């Protein structure tokens, strides 16, 4: 009982974390339910194709962000104009990225890139200003609108309709970005002073994007839409339970809470991640067989992927600490290690073990990244990391 009281007391003292977590979990629930429902009405090949198109567009969005979303969250309290200047840069970069995607894949995917950049910059500005309740509304609102539009548009326009449901919902909840356009003066002095941090954050954000999207770009040409579909449904479950460490990272990055309180929250996050991993591991066969019988080949992969929630939590919580003390270079190195390991193992283990091999590659890459960050931070002076 004392542990429960301690947890409740910690959460009450950090209601910002509650808002972020609720926003992320509700948003992830809507997105997760959408993708899981879509799996019940699409063939495995079409499911893989849909995920591929969303992945390529989302990856282009992260390229256009250039790490500036994290920079805005970290420095908005210190530099009042940094969000305006960051929005100016991302407007230029996102237009370039959207034009390229439009030429290669179609105009609707170009709009996807533009709308997602605007929405992410809006939501990360809210985090930086510690407007946690508004952040939750922006996340849940966008995901809810997308969920409501997706199936009607899908039955009319097919996969293109799903893409447009994302576009409409992202634009609808990017109001802070549109408001900021009126203040554009095309000065970049504050952003220029934080460019080194932004580039390191860029590396970390790209590793996150690769976790979410890039693996699909490798898996598809090597193994086809069907294998991608089996792998992706496993990843959807991981991304849903992964909202806990992601929420913790976002809160710790923007919070000014005392160090002892942050330590308690990190311990709480680690404990929750272990419980979620165990629950998902045990429930995986029942979930797939009961609700997604067409995806039974992914049961073993889902059980393996569920283990990844534990190193994922370590990675995100340590990265939040490193960002706060200016050690963003270590974050970038850890991200590069993750990418190198996963890309290599996708080819080796994917060819040897199929979908299971892809799941093992993900877990090993996360574990190696977590180990690097954990052992390296032990070498950094304790007073810098408190």
Contacts of 373 (CB under 8 A, 6+ apart): 314, 315, 318, 319, 322, 330, 331, 334
Average pLDDT in the chain: 79
Find all residues with CB under 8 Å of 101, minimum gap 6, and list them.
56, 57, 60, 109, 110, 112, 113
pLDDT in tens, 269-314: 677 777 877 887 888 888 888 877 777 888 888 889 888 888 888 8
Number of domains in the chain: 1
The answer to whether position 298 is within a domain reads yes
113 within a domain of the structure (yes/no): yes
Name the DSSP class of 45. Answer: H
User: Does some domain include residue 179?
Assistant: yes
User: Per the domain annotation, does 35 fall within a domain?
Assistant: yes
Report if residue 385 sits inside a domain: no
pLDDT band with cut points at 50, 70 and 90 for residue 136:
confident
171-198 per-position pLDDT tens digit: 999 988 998 888 888 888 787 777 777 7
Both tokens assigned to 189: 């002095």
For the chain, percent of residues with pLDDT exceeding 90: 17
384 in a domain, yes or no? no
Q: Between 126 and 146, name the one with better pLDDT.
A: 146
- Is 95 within the bounds of a domain? yes
Q: What percent of the chain has pLDDT over 70?
A: 80
pLDDT digits (tens, 9 = 90+) for 308-339: 888 888 887 787 777 666 676 777 788 788 88
Asked if the structure places residue 386 within a domain, the reply is: no
Which residues span the domain enclosing 228? 2-379
Averaged over 146-151, what is the pLDDT? Answer: 93
What pLDDT, on a 0 to 100 scale, did the predictor assign at position 367?
93
Task: Supply the pTM of this predicted model.
Answer: 0.70
Reply yes or no on whether the pLDDT at 114 is more than 90.
yes
Write the pLDDT tens digit of every residue in 66-84. Answer: 878 878 887 776 667 788 8
């Amino acid at each position: 009982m004392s542990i429960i009281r301690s947890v409740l007391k910690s959460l009450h003292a950090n209601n910002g974390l509650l808002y972020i977590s609720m926003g992320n979990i509700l948003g992830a629930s809507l997105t997760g339910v959408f993708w899981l429902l879509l799996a019940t009405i699409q063939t495995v090949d079409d499911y893989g194709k849909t995920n591929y198109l969303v992945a390529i567009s989302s990856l282009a969005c992260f390229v256009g962000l250039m790490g500036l979303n994290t920079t805005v969250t970290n420095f908005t309290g210190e530099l009042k104009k940094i969000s305006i200047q960051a929005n100016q840069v991302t407007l230029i970069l996102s237009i370039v990225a959207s034009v390229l995607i439009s030429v290669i894949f179609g105009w609707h995917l170009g709009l996807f890139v533009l709308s997602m950049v605007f929405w992410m910059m809006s939501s990360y500005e809210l985090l930086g200003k510690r407007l946690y309740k508004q952040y939750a509304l922006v996340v849940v609102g966008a995901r809810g609108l997308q969920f409501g539009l997706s199936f009607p548009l899908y039955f009319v326009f097919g996969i293109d309709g799903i893409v447009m449901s994302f576009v409409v919902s992202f634009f609808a909840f990017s109001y802070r970005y549109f408001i900021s356009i009126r203040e554009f003066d095309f000065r970049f002095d504050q952003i220029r002073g934080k460019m080194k941090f932004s580039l390191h954050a860029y590396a970390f954000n790209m590793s996150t994007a690769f976790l979410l999207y890039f693996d699909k770009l490798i898996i598809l040409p090597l193994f086809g839409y069907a294998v991608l579909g089996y792998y992706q449904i496993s990843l959807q479950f991981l991304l849903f339970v992964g909202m806990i460490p992601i929420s913790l990272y976002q809160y710790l990055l923007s919070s000014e809470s005392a160090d002892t309180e942050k330590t308690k929250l990190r311990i709480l996050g680690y404990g929750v991640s272990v419980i979620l991993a165990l629950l998902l591991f045990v429930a995986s066969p029942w979930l797939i067989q009961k609700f997604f019988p067409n995806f039974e080949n992914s049961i073993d992969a889902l059980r393996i992927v569920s283990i990844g929630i534990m190193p994922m939590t370590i990675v995100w919580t340590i990265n939040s600490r490193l960002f706060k003390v200016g050690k963003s270079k270590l974050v970038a190195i850890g991200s590069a290690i993750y990418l190198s390991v996963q890309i290599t193992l996708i080819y080796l283990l994917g060819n040897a073990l199929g979908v299971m091999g892809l799941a093992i590659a993900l877990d090993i890459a996360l574990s190696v990244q977590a180990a690097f960050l954990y052992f390296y931070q032990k070498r950094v002076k304790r007073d810098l990391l408190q």
